[in-house]
Amino acid sequence: MSGRGLILGIESSCDETAASVVEHGARTLSSVVASQIATHARYGGVVPELASREHLRAIVPVVRGALAQAGVTLDDLDAIAVTSGPGLAGALLVGITYAKALAFAQGIPLIAINHLEGHIHAVLLHEREAAHVEEELRFVVSQVSESRPGAPTDSTDPALALVVSGGHTHLYLCRPAHGTWTYKLVGRTVDDAAGEAYDKVAKLLGFGYPGGPWIDALAKFGNPKAVPFAFSQIKTKLHLGGKPPRTKAAKTAPIADLDPHLLFSFSGIKTAVLRYVELHGLREEAQARAARLFPNQSRHPERSAAEDLHFQATPPKSKEEALALCPQPVLDLVASFQHAVVGDLMKKTFAAAESLGASRILVTGGVAANLELRARFTAEAAHRGIRVAFPTLALSTDNAAMIAAAAWPHFQAGEFAAADLSGDPSLALGR
């Protein structure tokens, strides 16, 4: 224990094994992410059993790498933070078990962090780091300050956070309260998450996994107005009256009492894209594109499961090669899909911020890496005179710096995990 405010964060909730050391929740000393994309890509999605096995393989080198990159040892750490949910049960267990063992051996506290709170703190961490750099610069320029700047403090205004990833499309009202934060769920998807729609549409059109970066890269070559996709008003009664929807996102929080204007639904647009592909005879060319872009990727029927585990797929082709394989109608479809999804995310997020009196918007999660989303949210925020912030591109997708940063207020408040901490795949954030 160094007393330097050093927290080691560990994240293993889905298909990234990550570790990071963050100082005072405000300065990233290291961030190491081992992605399993290559393992899951040929299955077109995350295979839970393979994810757990890959986490087991990666966790020790990833944590060692994060300590080395930060130039610290286990003895320097003040606490260990780990994602306790939501996520895949077996994947969560790997990170939690390892974090528990390390904390016990070092005699330092263990802090359990909700993955969604982590995503929100990815933006706050970026804001704090930017503020710190600004303060440092001001100090260097003036040379008259009596003391060096300390850790910057967060704004005390309530913020509206949109967490938009492969598993979630949730809106939270976030309030700083006595050094920590409180979260109130104010909107969410009733079926698929936006990232899930990106992944499914990309797969349908013969692109790689995860689909978001492919669609992001190709959309700028198409006409976003070519296919008029529309989002209709969601009828809550359909969902409230019957059984709860069965998606991974849906399990994490109830939709009762939420304003229907702040509910998202992305399964309809996925079906609309499918219908468009069928109607315009684009299915075969999508299959041909997939075969050209990812030769050798699918599971071979003559390989045993054991051989399959060690099979190295041919490296996938680049996005430039994908572009060359896309006729204009496909590029137009991709651009129209993205334009509609980003438009819907914007409409509901700004409406929520306005009706709830939030003075700023935080957009985070894998889909927040999307360039059109960033540009349009930024322009709309400037137009409305409201602030909007994103994480760095690297911290938009899953990482452990956000887990270590989110743990800092809990560390200061003495909120530590019990020795019997276990993972909760459906863990909800806020009410």
Distance CA 280, CA 23 (A): 54
The interface region with ligand KG4, picked from 33-41, 210-218, 299-307, 324-332 by CB under 6 A, is 210-218
- Check residue 191 for interaction with Zn ion (CB under 5 A): no
CA–CA gap between residue 80 and residue 73 (Å, rounded):
13
Q: Does 265 interact with Zn ion (rule: CB under 5 A)?
A: no
Among 284, 266, 271, 365, residue whose Cα is nearest residue 330: 284
DSSP H or E run through 60: helix 48-70
Binds ligand KG4 (CB under 6 A): choice among 353, 397, 400, 402: 397
Look at residue 36 and give the partner it binds from ligand KG4, Zn ion, none, a contact being a CB closer than 5 to 8 Å depending on partner kind: none
Strand 263-264 to 180-189 pairing:
parallel
| Minimal distance, residue 173 CB to ligand KG4, in Å | 21
What are the residues whose beta carbons fall under 8 Å from the beta carbon of 124, sequence distance 6 or more? 154, 362, 405
Asked whether position 398 contacts Zn ion by CB under 5 A, the answer is: yes
> Which residue spans within 149-217 are E strands per DSSP?
159-164, 169-177, 180-189
Q: Which does 370 bind (CB under 5 to 8 A by kind): ligand KG4, Zn ion, none?
A: ligand KG4
Q: How far apart are CA 167 and CA 195, in angstroms?
A: 7
Integer Cα distance of 373 and 363 in angstroms: 9
Asked whether position 165 contacts Zn ion by CB under 5 A, the answer is yes
- Distance from CA of residue 389 to its chain's centroid? 15
Where in 241-260 is the site for ligand KG4 (CB under 6 A)?
none
Within the chain, how many helices (H) and strands (E) appear?
15, 11
The secondary element (H helix, E strand) that includes residue 198 is: helix 194-204
Q: x/- string (CB under 5 A) for Zn ion, residues 357-396?
A: ----------------------------------------
CB burial readout 224-254, b (16+ within 10 A) else e:
beebebebeebebeebeeeeebebbbbbbbe
What residue 206 binds from ligand KG4, Zn ion, none (CB within 5 to 8 A, per partner kind)? none
Binding residue for ligand KG4, selected from 44, 210, 222, 423, defined by CB under 6 A: 210
Q: Near ligand KG4 by CB under 6 A, which window of 191-199, 324-332, 345-353, 404-412?
A: 191-199
Report phi then psi at 222, rounded to 5.
-115, 170
* Amino acid identity at 291: A
| Residues binding ligand KG4: number (CB under 6 A) | 19
Backbone angles phi, psi at 80, to 5 degrees: -125, 130
211 binds, among ligand KG4, Zn ion, none (CB under 5 to 8 A by kind): ligand KG4
Instruction: Map residues 154-183 to x or -, x wherever contact with ligand KG4 holds by CB under 6 A.
Output: -----------xxx----------------
- Distance of closest approach, residue 77 Cβ to ligand KG4, in angstroms: 25
Q: Which of 172, 181, 198, 411 binds ligand KG4 (CB under 6 A)?
A: 198
Rank residues 277 and 369 by Cβ distance to ligand KG4 and give the closer one: 369
User: Taking CB under 6 A as the rule, does residue 366 contact ligand KG4?
Assistant: yes
Largest CA distance in the chain: 73
Stretch that binds ligand KG4, among 18-26, 65-73, 212-220, 284-292 (CB under 6 A): 212-220
In the complex, the residues that contact ligand KG4 under the rule CB under 6 A are: 14, 165-167, 195, 198-199, 210-213, 216, 365-367, 369-370, 397-398
In the complex, the residues that contact Zn ion under the rule CB under 5 A are: 165, 398
